[in-house]
C-alpha cells in the first residue's frame, strides 16, 4: 500500500481536527524506546464499579494515579475488543463525536486514518502494537488470563502468538481466587532475570473480575455487582505490589490500565457480556507513569 496516497475509506475532513487542534495527554514518541510499557487489562471491569470503588477509596493504588475516564469499549467481549486494542484502538472517549476524536497512543501506519500520525502518537509498523514495539527494540511479554490467552486451544493461541514471550498457568485461571497474586508473583520472578538494558512491553490480562467472582466477598454465593467490586479491591492490592517492584527494579514505566468490556448482572434482563448493553459498552480507562521518585510518598503497601 502506498502510504502517500490519501485514504479513500474515511472522510478526510474528519482528520483536520486530529492533526491541528488536539493536544495529546502524552507524547508516545518520548516514551517508546525509553520506558517500559505496561498494558494492564482489568478484563470485564465495569465503569460504574470502578468509579464507585474510586469514590469509596476501595482502590487506593489505582486512585493515586488519577480518576478513571469513562470510555467506549472497543468490543462487547474479549476477542473483538483485544483485536482492536492490539491494533492501537484503545477504548475511546465516551463523548467522542467521530473517529478523529479518539486519542491514538499507537497509530497503525498501514491503515488509512488520514495516513498521518496524530500528535503524540507512536506510528508503528506491522499488524499489532506488539510487532511495532518489537521493531522498536522491545521484549514483548503476554501474561494471561481468560481462555483467549490460555494457549490451550487454537483460539487461545491467537493473542499470545502476537508476543515474543507468552505465559499462562492453571493458577492464572478465572476460577482461581488468588489468580492476580499468582500472576504478579510470576511477573516479578521473570523481572529478576530480565535484561536491564532491554525495554519491556508487558500485557497482563487480569481475569479476577471476570466470572466467577463471588468468592471475593465473604458469604456471597453467586456473582453480583458487589462481588465484582470486591474482586477489583483484591486486584488493586496486587497491582500495588507489581508497581512497587517494577519501580524499584526498572525505574520508570508507562502504564495503560483499562477494561475491555463490562458485563451484565441482570440489568434489563441481560446476563454476562458478548451483547451490546450500556454497562457492557462503557469501560474505565487511565494511563499514567510509575516513577522511582515519589515511591516514599506513595504508600502502596497497605
Residue pair 179/173 in contact (Cβ under 8 Å)? The answer is yes
Nearer to Zn ion, 238 or 260 (CB): 260
Nearer to Zn ion, 78 or 227 (CB): 78
Question: Nearest distance from residue 207's CB to Zn ion, in Å?
Answer: 8
Site of interaction with Zn ion (CB under 5 A): 43, 78, 260
Please give the Cα distance from 73 to 94 (Å, whole number).
9
Question: Nearest distance from residue 83's CB to Zn ion, in Å?
Answer: 12
Residue pair 211/255 in contact (Cβ under 8 Å)? The answer is no
Indicate the residue whose CB is closest to Zn ion.
78
Grid-cell match 508473583, residue found:
185
Please give the Cα distance from 40 to 264 (Å, whole number).
22
Nearer to Zn ion, 36 or 43 (CB): 43
Nearer to Zn ion, 82 or 102 (CB): 82
Question: Nearest distance from residue 145's CB to Zn ion, in Å?
Answer: 9
Please give the Cα distance from 104 to 107 (Å, whole number).
6
Question: Nearest distance from residue 273's CB to Zn ion, in Å?
Answer: 7
Nearer to Zn ion, 246 or 265 (CB): 265
Question: Nearest distance from residue 44's CB to Zn ion, in Å?
Answer: 5
Residues in CB range of 252: below 8 A, 6 or more apart: 35, 36, 289, 290, 291, 292
- The DSSP-derived string for 29-85 is HHHTTTSEEEEEEETT--HHHHHHHHHTT--HHHHTT-PPEEEE-SSSSHHHHHHHH
Angle between helices 225-250 and 179-193 (to 10 degrees): 10
Question: Nearest distance from residue 85's CB to Zn ion, in Å?
Answer: 10
Grid-cell match 502468538, residue found:
161
Nearer to Zn ion, 83 or 249 (CB): 83
Amino acid at each position: 500500500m502506498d502510504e502517500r496516497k490519501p485514504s479513500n475509506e474515511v472522510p478526510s475532513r474528519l482528520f483536520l481536527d486530529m492533526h491541528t487542534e488536539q493536544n495529546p495527554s502524552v507524547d508516545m514518541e518520548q516514551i517508546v524506546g525509553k520506558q517500559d510499557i505496561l498494558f494492564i487489562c482489568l478484563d470485564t471491569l465495569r465503569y460504574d464499579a470502578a468509579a464507585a470503588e474510586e469514590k469509596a477509596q476501595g482502590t487506593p493504588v489505582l486512585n493515586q494515579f488519577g480518576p478513571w475516564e469513562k470510555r467506549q469499549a472497543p468490543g462487547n467481549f474479549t476477542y473483538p475488543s483485544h483485536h482492536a486494542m492490539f491494533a492501537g484502538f484503545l477504548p475511546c472517549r465516551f463523548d467522542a463525536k467521530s473517529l478523529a476524536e479518539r486519542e491514538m497512543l499507537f497509530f497503525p501506519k498501514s491503515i488509512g486514518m488520514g495516513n498521518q500520525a496524530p500528535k503524540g502518537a507512536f506510528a508503528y509498523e506491522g499488524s499489532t502494537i506488539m510487532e511495532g514495539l518489537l521493531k522498536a527494540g522491545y521484549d514483548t511479554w503476554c501474561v494471561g488470563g481468560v481462555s483467549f490467552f490460555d494457549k490451550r486451544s487454537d483460539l487461545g493461541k491467537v493473542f499470545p502468538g502476537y508476543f515474543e514471550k507468552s505465559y499462562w498457568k492453571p493458577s492464572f485461571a478465572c476460577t482461581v481466587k488468588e489468580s492476580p497474586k499468582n500472576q504478579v508473583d510470576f511477573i516479578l520472578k521473570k523481572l529478576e532475570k530480565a535484561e536491564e538494558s532491554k525495554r519491556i512491553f508487558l500485557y497482563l490480562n487480569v481475569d479476577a473480575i471476570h466470572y466467577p467472582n463471588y468468592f471475593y466477598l465473604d458469604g456471597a454465593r453467586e456473582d453480583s455487582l458487589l462481588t465484582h467490586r470486591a474482586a477489583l479491591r483484591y486486584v488493586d492490592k496486587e497491582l500495588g505490589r507489581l508497581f512497587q517492584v517494577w519501580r524499584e527494579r526498572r525505574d520508570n514505566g508507562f502504564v495503560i490500565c483499562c477494561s475491555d468490556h463490562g458485563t451484565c448482572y441482570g440489568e434489563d434482563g441481560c446476563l454476562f457480556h458478548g451483547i451490546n448493553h450500556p454497562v457492557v459498552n462503557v469501560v474505565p480507562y487511565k494511563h499514567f507513569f510509575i516513577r522511582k521518585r515519589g515511591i516514599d510518598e506513595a504508600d502502596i503497601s497497605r
